[in-house]
């Protein structure tokens, strides 16, 4: 009988082989002998060599970030090393930021489900390397569907090597899979949101100016109330949860998913406030896949006033049309309207909570602002338990806050309630959900539920008299970032 190479390869491709081939010296022809006692398994490394899988890593899409470093076969497993790409150099902070990643992986030439290990090779060089502890990578096969993103629970960070890793089993068809630090909010989705707002009755969309890359700085005006409330989102472009928050807020205010019908609380808040809402402060950086900077490399949350001094040789003018037109145009409009209440919506890499960072470090921090902050936060946490009170950044001492930070500048400039709202990249420990963690849908829900707190403090925003009406349960609580000690 003739020995066929094709037959051998078909046999070798199975996980378990139970036949061996030998040749009879007398007949000088191959014979097949069934030998169960000599059963053996082909190792996964041998199978990988036989399949010779090809790996393609791509981030050439809206918000993409990730570059193939190398592939290796380690411990009988295909391992793919990816590098996070850095933001442009930040002139003021004198550093290259990085942490955001979002890339597509295609594994081809496999004939069976294959588990691949992914490694972010330069994770230890990120802006906040300690934040990788407890982080879990998101993955999806349908990236434009926010509900499809789930978390890799085997994500781990090795601080000795500075590498973040996880595994994923690709099906035999080699279906492309997307991995991301947080589910993406694309510029296409942004434009769709703007279009919906333009069509909604009672909303006026205005472009305040253009970015360095020529994108419009859209601002949505809603309401007829005397109080002026500004809410800005996504100054740091890699903090995608901030624009999901904006979408949730705008959807409720305008009834975007209910034929423009709105609830009673919305009617009340629109009589009390006129809103100016900027869904994305940094559309260029968002599209380019940056973590914290615009197209020119500026961290917009450090561009809200000039800093340093000519005497010390570190004077830095801000905002400017040349470096930070996004802030320049928004701040110009704020000066026209005034501000009575302000929120700056962000995401935090380190703390696994939603929290509010106040303006305690401003020179005008007062009993009024402290009381308003406490009452607003307490009401917010009662409305949505995803918001909590005791955990936040350690507050600055009065007069020692950085006024080039957005919420500090607004609080000092307009003597108003102003705060930075942070959402986690990690799972939210207030209401844990390991498989999904904190995600786009919950960010949107948090955005839609802020209205009750705004209505609650609205009548007192400019009240300099007795603010005891809020009661002790709404009193200010000094926060701590040491949540493990609580």
Q: How far is CA 212 from CA 50, 323, 334, in A?
A: 50, 8, 20
For residue 188 the two structure tokens come to 């296409």
Rounded to whole angstroms, the Cα distance separating 222 from 271 reads 10
Rounded to whole angstroms, the Cα distance separating 222 from 220 reads 6
Taking every pair of Cα atoms in the chain, the longest distance, rounded to a whole number of angstroms, is 111
Q: How far is CA 427 from CA 133, 218, 394, in A?
A: 12, 31, 21
CB contact at 8 A, 116 and 78: yes
Using left for φ > 0, alpha for ψ between -120 and 50, and beta otherwise, residue 269 falls in: alpha
For residue 329 the two structure tokens come to 């145009």
Residue 326 known to be catalytic:
no
Instruction: Show the 3-state SS of 383-431.
Output: HCCCECCCECCCCCCCCCCCCCCHHHHHHHHHCCEEEEEEEECCCCCCC
Count CB neighbours of 292 within 10 A. 26
For residue 474 the two structure tokens come to 């709404």
* Side-chain half-sphere exposure of 157, counting CA atoms within 13 A: 17
CB contact at 8 A, 315 and 308: yes
For residue 134 the two structure tokens come to 């407890």
Q: Which of 322, 422, 463, 473 is catalytic?
A: 422
Tell me the β-bridge partners of 219: 206
Rounded to whole angstroms, the Cα distance separating 308 from 260 reads 48
SS3 322: coil
Q: Please list the active-site residues.
A: 422
């Amino acid at each position: 009988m003739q020995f066929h190479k094709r037959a051998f390869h078909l046999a070798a491709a199975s996980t378990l082989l139970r036949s061996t081939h030998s040749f009879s010296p007398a007949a000088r022809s191959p014979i097949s002998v069934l030998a169960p006692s000599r059963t053996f398994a082909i190792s996964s490394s041998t199978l990988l060599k036989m399949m010779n899988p090809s790996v393609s890593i791509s981030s050439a899409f809206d918000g993409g970030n990730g570059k193939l470093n190398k592939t290796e076969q380690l411990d009988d497993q295909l391992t793919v090393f990816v590098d996070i790409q850095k933001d442009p150099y930040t002139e003021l902070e004198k550093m290259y930021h990085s942490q955001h990643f979002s890339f597509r992986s295609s594994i081809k030439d496999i004939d069976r489900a294959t588990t691949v290990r992914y490694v972010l090779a330069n994770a230890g060089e990120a802006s906040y390397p300690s934040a990788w502890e407890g982080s879990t990578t998101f993955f999806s096969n349908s990236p434009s569907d926010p509900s499809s993103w789930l978390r890799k629970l085997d994500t781990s960070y090795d601080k000795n090597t500075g590498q973040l890793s996880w595994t994923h089993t690709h099906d035999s068809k080699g279906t492309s899979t997307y991995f991301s630090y947080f589910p993406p909010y694309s510029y296409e989705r942004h434009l769709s949101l703007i279009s919906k707002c333009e069509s909604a009755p009672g909303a006026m969309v205005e472009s305040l100016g253009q970015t360095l890359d020529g994108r419009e700085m859209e601002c949505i005006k809603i309401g007829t109330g005397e109080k002026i409330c500004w809410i800005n989102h996504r100054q740091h472009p890699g903090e995608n949860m901030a624009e999901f928050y904006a979408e949730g807020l705008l959807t409720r205010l305008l009834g975007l998913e209910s034929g423009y019908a709105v609830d009673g609380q919305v009617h009340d808040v629109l009589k009390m406030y006129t809103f100016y809402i900027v869904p994305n402060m940094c559309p260029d950086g968002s599209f380019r896949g940056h973590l914290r900077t615009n197209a020119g490399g500026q961290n917009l949350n450090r561009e809200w006033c000039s800093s340093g001094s000519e005497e010390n040789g570190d004077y830095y003018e801000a905002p400017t049309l040349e470096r930070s037109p996004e802030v320049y145009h928004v701040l110009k409009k704020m000066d026209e309207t005034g501000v009575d209440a302000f929120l700056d919506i962000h995401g935090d890499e380190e703390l696994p909570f939603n929290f509010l960072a106040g303006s305690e470090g401003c020179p005008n921090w007062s009993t009024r602002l402290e009381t308003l902050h406490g009452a607003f936060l307490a009401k917010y946490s009662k409305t949505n338990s995803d918001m909590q009170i005791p955990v936040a950044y350690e507050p600055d001492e009065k007069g020692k806050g950085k006024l080039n930070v957005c919420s500090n500048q607004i609080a000092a400039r307009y003597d108003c309630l102003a705060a930075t709202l942070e959402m986690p990249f990690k799972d939210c420990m207030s209401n844990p959900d390991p498989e999904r963690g904190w995600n786009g849908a919950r960010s949107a829900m948090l955005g839609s539920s802020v209205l009750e707190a705004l209505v609650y403090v609205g009548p007192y925003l400019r009240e300099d008299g007795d603010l005891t009406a809020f009661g002790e349960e709404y009193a200010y609580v000094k926060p701590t970032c040491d949540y493990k000690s609580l």
